[in-house]
Amino acid sequence: MTTTIQYTVDADGIAILALDIPGQTMNLLTPELVGDLQSCVEKLAGDQAVKGAVITSAKPAFMAGADLKDLVTAYDRGWTVADGYRQSQELSQAFRRVETCGKPVAAAINGVALGGGLELCLACHYRVLADDRKAKIGLPEVTIGLLPGAGGTQRLPRLIGIREALPLMLEGRQLTPDKALELGIVHELAPADQLVERARRWVLDAGDPEAPWDKQGFRIPGGAGAMNPKAVETFMVGTSLLAGKAFHNYPAPKAIMSAVYEGTITPFDTGLRIESKYFAQLVSGVVARNMMRTLFVNKGASDKLARRPAGVEKSTVGKLGILGAGMMGAGVAYVSARAGIEVILLDTSIEGAEKGKAYSRTLLEKAISRGKSTPDKADAVLGLITPTIDYADLDGCDLVIEAVFENREIKANVTARAEAVIPDTGIFASNTSTLPITGLAEASERPEKFIGIHFFSPVDKMQLVEIIVGEKTSDEAIARSLDYVQQLRKTPIVVNDSRGFYTSRCFMTFTNEGMTMVTEGINPALIENAAKMASMPVGPLAVIDEVTIELGYKIAMQAKADLGDAFQPISGFDIMKRMVEELDRKGKRYGKGFYDYPEGGEKHLWLGLTELYPLAEQQPSVDEVKNRLLIIQALETARCYEEGVLSHPADADLGSIFGWGFPPWTGGTLSFIDTMGIAKFVAECDRMAGAYGPRFEVSDWLRARAGRGETFHPAA
């Protein structure tokens, strides 16, 4: 009797194994399912009346892969390499038994098959995939710091060749059915209602119970080994790309390359053991723990609105008002209309509002050209966006988002004009990136319905949305804002009010540290390259050029105006002031900043920067620069947590990775502290405070926490 697999035998002697874990919306490779699979395979192998089998799913999708909620705790539970090896081998051998049971086995893949789900399919002798663009397949383990540990690194290269297989595993790409068929990963496509019958027909008519790599004389397509020119070229290029992209911060890509290289020059079963060895090293390591916890477990919880206040009825936004049709407003209009929401896009001129709508038209035209949309779908999205200059058009809006200039007076004016029109039940949100929500809410007649909804640019690509709670913001406003973010299929975090909130405040420490290093005479190229070597997306000088030095300077000046005598300029204030006021180098938008942007050429660091701040004779090591840049961001996050700006470590980690690009291998800023060890982190901050200034000083609260050895994330 099995509880996770429905086992039946039809009149033709074909066993149908339908995966179906009770109480779950998606099949996962739980110990129970693996045990049931082994029992079913032994049953069909020993039954002479059974001619072969079809493995499918009783759920809308085939299988999502391993149960990561269990694997994510492996490191904290003290798993050794031996524990990881045993785990991989148990699963690998279960799938190997499917492959060598002596009966032909076909997979009827009726939906998503990822990770271990695809590995099970690869262990079947024939694969039929649903002809539906939603039926994605892939081996995405690298994105959470792992490798395919149930035969994926051995079967896929033997099936389609090393050159085609490696990029799929190194990038974690998910394939549509037509691409999977083109590459030869599946044998045929079929409508969903014909999948099982097509698989049955193959078993009955041509069922071959032996995998290609088990046949005598098998050769890997395209070749393998150190003596094969094509294989050598693939590994040489792959190794170079890894060094250039990952900078050795991510062990999974290197482990995948090694498992494929070593495994494909050995017998298949030896290759499986090699794969398990590398899987074991990864799953028992801290990088995989960090990535699984933040990028899968905590992101999944956030997407399901883990921070939503209880007791508030679920809501949807049917009509949305957007004040300001600039880059941010236009981006919010696009993602909202794409989610089926009616959008009123208001600007000071109809030309400006129309230009904001044209942004959506441009994005939709690109989607059509790439085969990701159709003209009819694009017209439907555009039809939901109404450009206007008339506030009366906001009547009936469930939510209004203000995305005007970062000026308190302008924001107060549009708040009053919008609230005069929208219903009493309407929520008003500001997309400000720095100005405190509580202060902006003073212009509102209903501060309990005033909240911050901070999108990131470009809105259509950035997954994170930061919800900012003011002093008077109600639970209803929080819940309804989170519901709206979920409508957009974006990932929300919830933070409390503060100047710069969480993401902008911590991101500015990164750019400030880079600028400060320039004033210390550190080579700008060293600063930029060290940041990328730490796995930041770009260097601090390049990124402040992107957002403009002028904006950073204006934010500082606004803070000075707001705080008066209490204002403490950041260490990079003077260089910003010189770049903006004296040199007119305001950033990329203006054609010059820390970089030059020659027309038709590649951008490059401004040569005059080292004349402005001559290079110091003694330059720091790359590691020292990397550590300065990472530690200052993590320290500011700890301050946000201490002050109550952040309530949950998971929000801190998600916000840092998805908001401003803190390296995913760390798991996020607070995971970075936990991984380093809080006592060591505090000691490094003390050293840097002595060497570089008081911005690295730690609070008594953090020092006491270090003394207790108290981590931010509780151990599993």
Q: Which residues are catalytic?
A: 454
For residue 578, the number of C-alpha atoms closer than 13 Å in the C-beta half-sphere is 13
Q: How far apart are CA 10 and CA 5, in angstroms?
A: 16
- 454 phi and psi angles, rounded to 5 deg: -100, 110
- CA-atom Rg of the chain in angstroms: 28
For residues 139 and 164, is the Cβ–Cβ distance under 8 A? no
91-127: b (≥16 Cβ within 10 Å) or e: bbbbbbebbbbebbbbbbbbbbbbbbbbbbbbbbbbb
- Single-letter amino acid, residue 29: L
Q: 279 near 258, Cβ under 8 Å?
A: no
Selection from 346, 340, 422 nearest residue 377 by Cα: 340
Structure token pair of residue 138: 């892939």
Cβ distance 63 to 287 under 8 Å? Answer: no
Instruction: Please check whether residue 292 is in contact with residue 72, taking contact to mean a CB–CB distance below 8 angstroms.
Output: yes
Angle, alpha carbons 87-29-279 (nearest 5°): 35
The C-alpha atoms of residue 202 and residue 370 are separated, in whole angstroms, by 35
Which residue's entry shows tokens 């049931």? 36
Dihedral angle at the C-alpha atoms of 386, 392, 396, 397, nearest 10 degrees?
A: 60
Rounded to whole angstroms, the Cα distance separating 531 from 633 reads: 12
Farthest-apart Cα atoms in the chain, separation: 89
Cβ atoms within 10 A of the Cβ of 627, count? Answer: 18
3-state secondary structure of 459: coil
Instruction: Report d(CA 131, CA 273) in Å as an integer.
Output: 34
Half-sphere CA count of 284, side-chain side, radius 13 A: 17
Contact 224, 166 (CB under 8 A): no
Q: Which residues contact 713 (CB under 8 A, 6 or more apart)?
A: 293, 649, 670, 671, 674
**Spatial CB neighbours of 555, under 8 Å, sequence gap ≥ 6:** 406, 434, 500, 508
Find the helix packing angle between 375-382 and 350-369, rounded to 10°: 160
Query: How many whole angstroms separate alpha carbon 5 and alpha carbon 29?
Result: 12
CB count in 10 Å sphere of residue 182: 12
Q: Which two tokens stand for residue 303?
A: 């997407």
Length of the chain: 716
Backbone angles phi, psi at 389, to 5 degrees: -120, 0
DSSP helix/strand/coil, 665: helix
Asked if 522 and 541 count as a contact pair (C-beta separation under 8 A), the reply is no
The number of C-alpha atoms within 13 Å of 44 and in the hemisphere containing its C-beta is 30
CA distance 180 to 173: 11
Question: 306 and 313 in contact (C-beta within 8 Å)?
Answer: no
In this structure, what DSSP letter does residue 579 have? I
Helix (H) or strand (E) holding 435: none
Other beta carbons within 10 Å of 196: 21
HEC secondary structure over 501-527: CCHHHHHHHHHHHHHHHHHCCCCHHHH
